[in-house]
Amino acid sequence: MKLAIDIIATAQAMNSSGINSGTAGNVSARTSSGMLVTPSGMDYEQLTPEDIVAMDFDTSWFATNNLKPSSEWRMHLDVLRARPDLNAVVHTHSTHATALSLHGRGLGPYHYMVAAAGGHDIRCAPYATFGSQELSDAAVTALEGRRACLLAHHGVLAAGPDLASALSLAIQVEELAHQYLASLALGEPPQLTVSEMRRVVAKFERSGYGSAPRRLSPDDDRDSTLLDLEGREPILHLEN
């Protein structure tokens, strides 16, 4: 029940944050045997936990209110099946990222935050009809080594270890696309090197960026100051 509630909250947050409108997008989260996914064609503000559809990895499905799963259920299910490191998927039609996808363009290393998706770029999957196996296959391929991709003439797919991470990444992808399109007024922006982006990805991985919060370990690098709760000496000091 809690996971269904969290899926509804995520779907509503997509619209309130401006990265989606109406019922265009969809949300899913992993279960022990498959996933829960938003139903087809329902207003997010009207959703109840009983409306969320349960699907197994063998594609059988069940909904308390006999609703159909999202038309994009195949894409969600295949991504979760292919990527055991991911537990939630968010699909949106956010304006600026979708504008890029209309030209079949992804995002290169124009900004270091592109690395938040797991690599030096964010790919754009080739166009295929919505809800089709072809689209699902293209999305899975575009997500290899990544947690987000664009879908040509369609929108954005973002995934993460939990719903909050997936939603945050979808918002970040839209912001990056907005920044990139704005920068084109001055001409094509320069790109960071692949080696620099790899360095950023490694720093993100060490810090757990995009994942659930974790405790400090002895192997963490010394990039920040962490004070204990009793006001004693810092555990880590900034290095000059």
Please give the Cα distance from 104 to 139 (Å, whole number): 13
Q: Which active-site residues does the annotation give?
A: 72
SS (H, E, C) the chain: CHHHHHHHHHHHHHHHCCCCCCCCCEEEEECCCEEEECECCCCHHHCCHHHCEEEECCCCEECCCCCCECCCHHHHHHHHHHCCCCCEEEEECCHHHHHHHCCCCCECCCCHHHHHHCCCCECEECCCCCCCHHHHHHHHHHCCCCCEEEECCCEEEEEECCHHHHHHHHHHHHHHHHHHHHHHHHCCCCCCCHHHHHHHHHHHHHHCCCCCCCCCCCCCCCCCCECCCCCCCCCECCCC
**How far apart are alpha carbons 61 and 52 in whole angstroms?**
11
Q: Quote the radius of gyration of the chain (alpha carbons, Å).
A: 19
Tell me if 109 sits within 8 A of 192, measured CB to CB.
yes
